Each structure stands twice: as C-alpha cells, then as structure tokens.
Structure 1
C-alpha cells in the first residue's frame, strides 16, 4: 500500500524526519527529534550510527558541518505497510541544484507512528562515475 496524501500520519512522520535533517537550530532540532522519534530509536547508514536523541542530534550536527547549507528532500512517494515504511531522498546543495547524494531509507514505526529504527542506504549521486 502506498500513502501519498500529505495529511496522512506517515507523511507527517516523514516530514518530521526531513525537518530533523534540515534544522540548523539545535533547540528546534531537538524538539523535532523528540516529536518524531521514539526515545530508544536508532539510525544506521554506511557512514553513521546513532542510538537515542543525543546521538541523533550529534549525527545531524556533523552532517551540517560537512555539508553546510545543503538540504535533504523527499524524492518520490512514501510507501508504508504494517509497521514499516520506505522513502527516497536527495541531498541538494545550497543553490537547490542537482543532488550531491541520493538514497533510500527504511523505517520501523512504533504503534503511535513514531520512528523506532531507520536504516539508510546511499546511492551514487546523479552523474557520478
């Protein structure tokens, strides 16, 4: 099943996920993390691993240091069934140009539709050799 209506709970969760990645203010980012993720949540991709809100916050801060001014954005529809979801994403430069990285994230959700686990897979950016 695919949920594409922006008013659906899963899209609100995914909106919060991208808000976390794009928020540069540490206080606001922490609020987004607490609203979107379960307290014992975890994230893992080939470059990062984080367990809990403090580690999630530190991970995002590290990405902002490495890619200042870049923004994550949803690429395509969000798919969801049972307690699982997946979505594609892009990391675009400050000028909004072509993505410097793309990937797909897979999530496990709590019963209340908060993120419990996210596993990210990175793909080559468009035009990469």
Structure 2
C-alpha cells in the first residue's frame, strides 16, 4: 500500500505542477495587453529622451557640393546654364553637424538620352558613407 501512496503523491505533485504552469501561462496571456502597453510606453520615453539629448537640426549646409555629370550621349554638347555646384539643406542630429564634410555627399546630373533641346534636369543627391 505504501508504494501506491508514493505513486499517488507523485501524481498529485505532478498535477499541481502542471496546474501552476498553466496558471503562469494563463496569467501571462491575461496580461499581454499590459505588457505590450508597457513596451510601447518605454519605447516612446526612449525616443523622446534621445530627441531631447541630440535634437534634429535642419539648416542650409554652408559648403557647396560639386555636381558630377553623367553623359551626355555622343554628339550632344551641353551649354549654358549647367551648374557646377549645388547648395543643400540638411536635417541631421545636432551632434553630427560638426563632422559633416562636402565629401559626405554626391550630386549628379544624368544627361544620357537627351536630344537637342532645352531641359530642366533634376539633380540627384545622395549621402556617401566612407568605411
């Protein structure tokens, strides 16, 4: 009879552990809304803190950027009114303004595929990252 009691006690203990585990899992899912809300609020507080510490500043960059021309096609000669340099407006964290250089940017005019005529050509600007 003692062996049966030991086995019964083990089964009872195993059942109690299973119930405790189910209660923990159930409690987690019952609180998932609160957990997600806490994570979202923490993210908002972090973003605001970073923004306060190093705010974004938008201003005209004081140096001009040289324009690289792509093309034109053979036999087409551009003349008059082509810019050599461009001035840009940048929005960047305040701390990065001191490290900016004209070499951090590349401006391009794509003159390929243009026939004789007058055109307004967009100037493409991109940030250049150096390793």
Length-normalised TM-score, structure 2: 0.26
Q: Which has the larger radius of gyration?
A: 2
